[in-house]
A and B are shown apart, each in its own frame.
Chain A
Amino acid sequence: MLRRWIERMTPTDVIMWLIGGAILLMIFWGSAATLSAKTYTAHHWFDFIVFGLAQGSIYALIAMGYTMVYGILRMINFAHSEVFMSGPYTAYFVAAAFYSSGFLDQHPIISLILIFLTSMATSTLVAVLLERIAYRPLRTAPRLIPLITAIGASFFLQYTFRGFYGSGFQAYPVVKILEGEWAWGEFRILKFQAVVIVAAAILMASLYSFVQRTRVGKAIRAVSEDKETSSLMGIDIDRMIVTTFVIGGMAAGAAGVLYALMFKQVHFFMGFIPGIKAFTAAVLGGIGNIPGAMLGGIFLGLVESVGPSLFLDGLGIVAPYQLKDAIAFTMLVLVLIFRPTGILGERLAVKKA
């Protein structure tokens, strides 16, 4: 067994493992140094993890849109970040109207639901239009071409919304019931973070069970397995693709409002960074795989929050949080070195990717 393994090793494998090993070593060394320095106490770590979970669940929600579109069309929907931006930016005007009329404070739950609905509707509309205008005519084109279309659509949408609503930013009003925190001893969690985590979990669970349990979901999965055969089975491929975009758009719109509630500012460029992160998360988890996207999102959020303190602080590196994206991408490379198709990537992905 061991001999066969050694025989199959190539020099590049050795170098790859060396690179991977070196990164791992750095991580362990850094973590050990940080933990032994005892700068951080247990509640610090708990805070880091909660912050990471909240951020990560938003990444996960956006990543669902990427991964589902990828599963069915085998294309990177670069403009998904603008689907994410359009919802909360539009819903802001609803939120602002509610706030200035006092409705938001009187009926916070109803207002929030309406804000969510507006955002999800807008994002879905943008996603569907995107599919209809930019992607459908290119379904048989080589794979790089829809990628460029998606990039173009992304610019176009960003600057259209900038033209509509202005190049500044808008700030979501404070929702009073979401302020404050719950505490147990020295551990505590901010209310809206709990809400974000729970809401994201519920949304993901329901979308996932929709895809797994319902007839439509089954049809979607059939189309992403094999378009030709499923069309022979009487599945309307166009409709399934549109449905996928609708689900992705809804998830992105909801993620957008959660994001806006957590960070308040919305602007035309807000989708770019979360979009790239969510796409990274989707790849990390194994693109095309819905639980993988969730896992990838949470993992990425945690790495960004915990990573700089845990890995770099002990090594005496200044301003570690400046390097958080570098850590996130290094972790991505690390995962892909050992599992080239992502954490939950299937063999299938090798064939089709």
Chain B
Amino acid sequence: MKRFISLLLVLGIVVSLTAPLASAQEKPKASPAKPKAFVYEDKIGVVKIKKGDPIHIACWMVVAGPDASLGTDTKRGVEIAIDDKGGKILGFPIKLSVQDTGCNAEGGQAAATKLAADPTIVAAIGSNCSSEARPGAPILWKAGIATVSPSNTAPFLTDPSRGPEYDGYLRTAHNDKVQGAVAAQFAIKQLKLKKAATIHDGSPYAEQLQAVFAETFKKMGGTITAQEAVAPTDTDMRPVLTKIATGKPDIIYYPIFIAAGGHITRQVKEVKGLEKVKLMSADGTFSPDFIKAAGETAIGMYHSSPDFSAFGAGYKAFLEKHQKKYGEKPIAPFHAHAYDAAMMVFAAIEKVGRVAPDGTLHIGRKALRDALYATKNFKGLTGNLTCTATGDCADPMIAIYQMTADNVKKQVIPDKPIWSPAAAAAKSAPAKEAPKKK
């Protein structure tokens, strides 16, 4: 106790001594630093970066714990984007810091608070799980930090009713509402199937997707034979598949992640009654890693994913850089979304950043947010990004892909879709509304 008091005393003395000193030093500094010619104002605040100091970009992602592969994957996407920029924006080096979010709400809140407390942060990229963004994004925006998520898909985050506290939130991942509906349309219209079963893994992402799928499927005249659920850590899927087999579905829709998705794909054919069933998954498993997990059993299965056939070349180059830098293939599906998110942020900074005559870079927080929201026709790895008024930036063009034997052999995902709502609408003139989202 005694020790503490004296410590406090010393601290007090130090403070009282340095206070006048510091203010005396600061005054002369303040006036010449701001020449009258250069005016840069912002409604929320301006980040000033001195010459030679870096532009601080923060990631809040899940890089530890059982879901670490998701965050590590997106973090690598951002790192490659920085490399592609040569590590510099407007001549200023980029500094990246990463906060772990743990794929849960409390981790998201803590990480977001940490970022919010650091005034040097210009913009953030994240979060990974929608549960993190729910408490986290408002905290960031309260501090004036805009954030672009590469992998949140829950609809409420960009719902018009989300409230002004989410104004700084955008995402390059797909809103579940769009994707689930396209999958159901494909199953009914193109494959002409009547009976479907769905499986989710208890994540908000998968649960939402399968709910939208089931709803659309039923609305269009199909029947849902079972809506099952597994745990993402489950390995033995044969019992649950046996149960599904009793309903004799034509197609199983399981918009889950790679590990459990791989197990289901491998084990489906081993279950009696499911030898002929069609399989469909979503962008959560649309990656070369999934082929590794599912092996040859992936041949013939369908995936819904953004239509990036036009931008495939960039993705190939990305994969090569990834292999060279990390010694392995991407480990989860959202690295390209993260790359796009980072590139979007960089482009926005380039757009609003102004260098003052003394070499200090000024970036307005509100201006940056507005620039992000104004993103239009941005050519990314995942498609043509255009942000809506509520922050959905993913290319709305969802298409259906099918794995071929050749894909599996070469361990690459298909680059040409077999079906898309827009193409289908063009073919048969009176076809119903394509899910153009707005």
Are chains A and B touching directly in their complex (CB below 8 angstroms)? yes
Listed in ascending order, the chain A residues whose CB lies under 8 Å from chain B are 39-40, 43-44, 47-48, 51-52, 54-55, 162, 166-171, 174, 181, 186, 188, 190, 259, 262-265, 267, 269, 272-273, 304-306, 308-309, 313, 318-322, 324-325
Q: Which residues of A contact B88 (CB under 8 A)?
A: none
Q: Tell whether A167 pairs with B239 under 8 Å between CB atoms, given A39-B246, A264-B293, A325-B231.
A: no
The residue that A55 contacts in the complex, of B230, B236, B266, B295, with Cβ under 8 A, is B236
Q: Tell whether A167 pairs with B262 under 8 Å between CB atoms, given A48-B242, A273-B233, A321-B240.
A: no
Asked whether B331 lies within 8 Å of A44 as measured between CB atoms, the reply is: no
The residue that B68 contacts in the complex, of A167, A259, A305, with Cβ under 8 A, is A167
- Chosen A-B contacts, 18 in total, with CB atoms closer than 8 Å, are A48-B242, A51-B239, A51-B242, A166-B328, A168-B289, A169-B69, A169-B292, A171-B292, A186-B272, A304-B239, A305-B238, A308-B239, A318-B227, A319-B229, A320-B243, A321-B240, A322-B229, A322-B231
Asked whether A47 lies within 8 Å of B242 as measured between CB atoms, the reply is: yes
Given contacts A169-B293, A265-B293, 12 further A-B contacts (CB under 8 A): A40-B246, A166-B327, A166-B331, A168-B69, A171-B293, A263-B263, A264-B293, A265-B259, A267-B259, A304-B236, A305-B239, A319-B228
The minimal Cβ–Cβ distance linking B59 to chain A, given in whole angstroms, is: 15
Output the nearest chain B residue to A43 by Cβ-Cβ distance: B272
The minimal Cβ–Cβ distance linking B438 to chain A, given in whole angstroms, is: 34
Asked whether A263 lies within 8 Å of B331 as measured between CB atoms, the reply is: no
**Could you give, for residues 326-368 of chain B, a 1 whenever the CB lies within 8 Å of some chain A CB and a 0 otherwise?**
0111011000000000000000000000000000000000000
Asked whether B228 lies within 8 Å of A47 as measured between CB atoms, the reply is: no
Asked whether A321 lies within 8 Å of B246 as measured between CB atoms, the reply is: no
Asked whether B266 lies within 8 Å of A264 as measured between CB atoms, the reply is: yes
Asked whether A264 lies within 8 Å of B328 as measured between CB atoms, the reply is: no
Asked whether A168 lies within 8 Å of B328 as measured between CB atoms, the reply is: yes
The minimal Cβ–Cβ distance linking B183 to chain A, given in whole angstroms, is: 19
The residue that B331 contacts in the complex, of A39, A40, A168, A320, with Cβ under 8 A, is A168
The minimal Cβ–Cβ distance linking A298 to chain B, given in whole angstroms, is: 14
- What DSSP secondary structure best describes chain A's contact surface? helix
Asked whether B231 lies within 8 Å of A305 as measured between CB atoms, the reply is: no
Q: Tell whether A322 pairs with B202 under 8 Å between CB atoms, given A44-B246, A166-B331, A305-B236.
A: yes
Asked whether B229 lies within 8 Å of A52 as measured between CB atoms, the reply is: no
Q: Which residues of B contact A262 (CB under 8 A)?
A: 235-236
Asked whether A322 lies within 8 Å of B66 as measured between CB atoms, the reply is: no
Output the nearest chain A residue to B245 by Cβ-Cβ distance: A44
Q: Which residues of A contact B233 (CB under 8 A)?
A: 269, 272-273
The minimal Cβ–Cβ distance linking B228 to chain A, given in whole angstroms, is: 5
The CA of A141 and the CA of B430, in the complex, are separated in Å by 78
Asked whether B243 lies within 8 Å of A309 as measured between CB atoms, the reply is: yes
Q: Tell whether A321 pairs with B228 under 8 Å between CB atoms, given A51-B236, A167-B69.
A: yes
The CA of A189 and the CA of B277, in the complex, are separated in Å by 20
Q: Which of B296-332 contact A (CB under 8 A)?
A: 296, 327-329, 331-332
Q: Which residues of B contact A51 (CB under 8 A)?
A: 236, 238-239, 242
The minimal Cβ–Cβ distance linking B323 to chain A, given in whole angstroms, is: 12
Q: Tell whether A263 pairs with B240 under 8 Å between CB atoms, given A166-B331, A190-B270.
A: no
Instruction: Tell me whether B422 is interfacial, beta carbon within 8 Å.
Output: no
Asked whether A309 lies within 8 Å of B239 as measured between CB atoms, the reply is: yes
The CA of A259 and the CA of B239, in the complex, are separated in Å by 16
Q: Which residues of B contact A321 (CB under 8 A)?
A: 228-230, 239-240, 243
Output the nearest chain B residue to A188 by Cβ-Cβ distance: B272
The CA of A265 and the CA of B390, in the complex, are separated in Å by 39
Q: Tell whether A265 pairs with B263 under 8 Å between CB atoms, given A47-B271, A166-B331, A171-B293.
A: yes
Instruction: Tell me whether B72 is interfacial, beta carbon within 8 Å.
Output: yes
Q: Which residues of B contact A305 (CB under 8 A)?
A: 236, 238-239
The CA of A118 and the CA of B238, in the complex, are separated in Å by 29
Q: Which residues of B contact A306 (CB under 8 A)?
A: 239
Q: Which residues of A contact B332 (CB under 8 A)?
A: 168
Asked whether A264 lies within 8 Å of B295 as measured between CB atoms, the reply is: yes
Q: Which of B245-274 contact A (CB under 8 A)?
A: 245-246, 258-259, 262-263, 266, 270-272
Output the nearest chain B residue to A179 by Cβ-Cβ distance: B270
Q: Which residues of A contact B293 (CB under 8 A)?
A: 169, 171, 264-265
The CA of A263 and the CA of B246, in the complex, are separated in Å by 23
The CA of A54 and the CA of B233, in the complex, are separated in Å by 18
Q: Which 7 A-B pairs have the closest CB atoms?
A: A168-B331, A322-B229, A321-B240, A319-B229, A305-B239, A263-B235, A51-B238
The CA of A145 and the CA of B8, in the complex, are separated in Å by 37
Output the nearest chain A residue to B296 by Cβ-Cβ distance: A174
Q: Which of B18-74 contact A (CB under 8 A)?
A: 66, 68-69, 72
Output the nearest chain B residue to A301 by Cβ-Cβ distance: B236
Q: Which residues of A contact B229 (CB under 8 A)?
A: 319, 321-322
Instruction: Pick the most buried of A169, A318, A325: most chain B CB atoms within 10 A of its CB.
Output: A169
The CA of A40 and the CA of B246, in the complex, are separated in Å by 7
Asked whether A48 lies within 8 Å of B239 as measured between CB atoms, the reply is: yes
The residue that B272 contacts in the complex, of A39, A47, A166, A263, with Cβ under 8 A, is A47
Asked whether B331 lies within 8 Å of A52 as measured between CB atoms, the reply is: no
Q: Which residues of A contact B295 (CB under 8 A)?
A: 171, 174, 264
**Could you give, for residues 210-233 of chain B, a 1 whenever the CB lies within 8 Å of some chain A CB and a 0 otherwise?**
000000000000000001111101
Output the nearest chain A residue to B244 by Cβ-Cβ distance: A321
Q: Tell whether A272 pairs with B66 under 8 Å between CB atoms, given A40-B246, A319-B229, A321-B229.
A: yes
The CA of A306 and the CA of B238, in the complex, are separated in Å by 11
Q: Tell whether A171 pairs with B66 under 8 Å between CB atoms, given A273-B233, A305-B239, A321-B243.
A: no
Q: Which residues of A contact B238 (CB under 8 A)?
A: 47, 51, 305
Instruction: Pick the most buried of B236, B262, B266: most chain A CB atoms within 10 A of its CB.
Output: B236
Q: Which residues of A contact B289 (CB under 8 A)?
A: 168-169
The minimal Cβ–Cβ distance linking B306 to chain A, given in whole angstroms, is: 22
The minimal Cβ–Cβ distance linking B433 to chain A, given in whole angstroms, is: 31
Asked whether A263 lies within 8 Å of B236 as measured between CB atoms, the reply is: yes
The minimal Cβ–Cβ distance linking B52 to chain A, given in whole angstroms, is: 34
Output the nearest chain B residue to A264 by Cβ-Cβ distance: B266
Q: Tell whether A169 pairs with B259 under 8 Å between CB atoms, given A47-B242, A51-B236, A304-B239.
A: yes
Q: Which residues of A contact B331 (CB under 8 A)?
A: 166-169
Output the nearest chain B residue to A307 by Cβ-Cβ distance: B239
The CA of A167 and the CA of B259, in the complex, are separated in Å by 13
Q: Which residues of A contact B296 (CB under 8 A)?
A: 174
Q: Which residues of A contact B242 (CB under 8 A)?
A: 44, 47-48, 51, 309
The CA of A38 and the CA of B229, in the complex, are separated in Å by 22
The CA of A174 and the CA of B266, in the complex, are separated in Å by 11
Instruction: Pick the most buried of A265, A273, A320: most chain B CB atoms within 10 A of its CB.
Output: A265
Q: Which residues of A contact B240 (CB under 8 A)?
A: 308, 321
The minimal Cβ–Cβ distance linking A44 to chain B, given in whole angstroms, is: 6
The CA of A52 and the CA of B240, in the complex, are separated in Å by 12
The CA of A264 and the CA of B262, in the complex, are separated in Å by 9
